[in-house]
Chain A
Amino acid sequence: MSGCDNDDKDTSRREFIKTVLDAGAKTFTFGSLICITAKLRLPEAGASDGVVQKELQMPAIYGFLVDTMKCIGCGSCVRADKAENDVPEQYFRTWVEQYTFYENGEVVVNSPKGASEGFAEKGRAFQPKGDEKPVKGFFVPKLCNHCINTPCIQVCPVGASYKTPEGVVLVDKKTCVGCGYCVQACPFGSRYIHPVTNVADKCTWCYHRISKGLKPACVLACPVGARTFGNVNDANSEISKALRENRVQVLKSYMGTNPRTRYIGLDSEVI
């Protein structure tokens, strides 16, 4: 009978649609789960590094957290870094910026000698022209962001800039040709060409220390705990806790470099 046939056809069509929808829904749920986990894990697990993670034996992925609310601008970090890493006098692997907001709305930024001698009340390099009074101020320590999506490694023509399995961005001094392209590509001014070795140089998060379980020199030297370093893959690490408890921001997020150095209390005037 035609009606029956129709019914059968309808049933089978309904059946078919149902199967398709069901499969679609399952795929969608599964897919979005994958997407969500991938998304959640992207910053830490470093999916873009091509490092395959295993749930149980996750290797260390390092992170760095700077609390600008705590920094007092003493420059201990800068001095420690210079001594630990033989940073040339005129360059900096880490430095501290001083932001001062004046009555007239002017924002003045200073970093005399990268703050290696701290900040004196007198002798600021830049001041507003008039007799304006400061109304707000803070310090912002800066260092290499060890980006996940690194512009510097991307542009290095010879593979002298590379990333370790822990996500640390380093320079191979024996391969670098000293073209300076990475210096141009870094949006944060973290790199320089070393005047003696003539190769690119930058903050390594004290890779020689952290690989022995020590803190980076700047973290050790900070008297106020403004710098936290650790394994973000370890839920119990100090940095993991701090990242859970705080709302954090990164420098120049619009650059899309996805930095592993993150900040607490970053003002919109900080570029």
Chain B
Amino acid sequence: MGHNKHILRLLGVLGAVVVLFVVVRTMVVPKDFGKTGHFRFGAIEEEKAKTARFQGADACKDCHAEAFKTWTEGKHKHHIQCENCHGPRLWHVRQMNGEPDATPPKAYWNATGIVECKRCHVKTFERAPQVKSIESVQAHVTEMGGTFSPTTKCTDCHNQHSLEVK
């Protein structure tokens, strides 16, 4: 009897470690963790809370009635959204409202009148045939009887919103 004191002390130390672990764990793990599955429930709301940046063509029509009208009457309606060429609306609105920190991030863009067009309309072997393709801007301009220069843009001849030849 009495020769197991060191083992009891060892068990005491281990017990203390376990208690410490449980205490720290209760303090660290968020309360909503594991509520509906093995994850932090609040993360869903955090993900939802982000603001949508692309807001669709309808959001543009109040301020840009004329351009919107030309677009609806043109060939790109139902296909190309305003924001495809002009960049997402969110930052545009914020800038218009004069919000401070409303500088658009790097991934934003604005229409050039040629780069956007070429992505769909310059011939690529793999492209499905439903899209009208040209060999190159130069070939197209020459074929149509125009004069090509390195600064030639599609919007020189085409209305940028209806696509009709000017």
Contact = CB atoms under 8 A, between A and B. Distances in A.
Q: Do chains A and B touch in the complex (CB under 8 A)?
A: yes
Interface of A: 50, 69-76, 79-80, 82-84, 86-87, 89, 98-100, 117-121, 134, 137-139, 159-165, 170, 172-175, 204, 206-209, 211-212, 214, 217, 220-221, 223-224
A89 B48 CA distance: 23
Contacts of B123: 121
Contacts of B105: 83, 86
B39 A72 contact: no
B130 interface: yes
B56 A220 contact: yes
Contact of B119 (A82, A118, A204): A118
In this complex, which of A70, A72, A211 has the most chain B Cβ atoms within 10 angstroms of its Cβ? A72
Contacts of A209: 52, 54
Given A163-B37, A217-B54, A72 B120 contact: yes
B122 interface: yes
A79 B43 contact: no
9 contacts: A74-B120, A80-B88, A86-B105, A87-B107, A174-B46, A208-B51, A214-B56, A220-B56, A224-B79
Given A72-B131, A80-B54, A217-B53, A172 B39 contact: yes
Contacts of A50: 37
Interface string B25-65: 00000000110111110011011111111101000000000
B39 A160 contact: yes
Contact of A120 (B36, B56, B87, B122): B122
A50 to B, nearest CB: 7
Nearest to B37: A162
B162 interface: no
Contacts of B118: 118
Contacts of A100: 125-126
Contact of B125 (A79, A117, A134): A134
Interface residues of B, number: 44
A174 B43 contact: yes
B109 interface: yes
B47 A119 contact: no
Nearest to A164: B44
B37 A70 contact: no
B127 interface: yes
Contact of B52 (A71, A76, A119, A208): A208
A162 B107 contact: no
B119 A208 contact: no
Contacts of A207: 47-48
B84 interface: yes
Contact of B38 (A71, A119, A159, A220): A159
B83 A221 contact: yes
A224 B130 contact: yes
B124 interface: yes
Contacts of B106: 89
A203 to B, nearest CB: 12
Contacts of B47: 170, 204, 207-208
Given A75-B119, A120-B124, A138-B126, A223 B48 contact: no
